[in-house]
Copies of this chain bind each other. A is one copy, B any other.
Amino acid sequence: MKTLVQEKVGQASGILRELGIDCWLTFVRESSINGDSILDFILGADVTWHSAFIVTSGGEAHAIVGRYDRKTVEDTGAYGRVLDYVEAWRPLLQESLKSLSPSKIAINYSEESEICDGLTHGMYLVLCACLREIGLEDRLVSAERVISALRQRKTPQEIERIRGAISAAERIFESARSFIAAGRTEGEIADFMKSHVKDAGLGLAWGEATCPSVFTGPATAEAHYKPTERKVREGDVLNIDFGVKWEGYCSDLQRTFYILRKGERAAPPEVERGFDAIRESIELARKAIRPGANGQQVDAVARNYLLAHGYEEFPHALGHQVGRFPHDGTALLGPSWEKYGRKPFAEIEAGMVFTIEPRLTVPDRGIVTVEEMVVVRDAGAEFLSGPQRDLWLVGG
Interface residues of A (CB under 8 A from B): 29-30, 32-34, 36-37, 45-46, 48-50, 66-69, 71-72, 85-90, 109-126, 129, 142, 206-207, 209-210, 221-226, 315-316, 325, 327-328, 337-339
Contact = CB atoms under 8 A, between A and B. Distances in A.
Contact of A339 (B69, B87, B338): B87
Contacts of A122: 109-114, 116-117, 142
A338 B226 CA distance: 46
Contacts of A222: 67-68, 71
B68 A223 contact: yes
A206 to B, nearest CB: 6
Contacts of A315: 67, 86
A30 B114 contact: yes
Looking at A33, A46, A116, A121, the one whose CB has the most chain B CB atoms below 10 A away is A121
**A-B residue pairs, 7 tightest by C-beta:** A68-B224, A117-B122, A109-B121, A88-B338, A121-B124, A30-B114, A87-B337
Contacts of A225: 68, 71-72
For the complex, would chain A's binding face be called helix, strand, loop or mixed by DSSP majority?
loop
Nearest to A28: B114
Given A34-B118, A110-B122, A111-B126, 8 more contacts: A67-B222, A68-B225, A71-B222, A89-B338, A116-B122, A117-B123, A118-B120, A124-B124
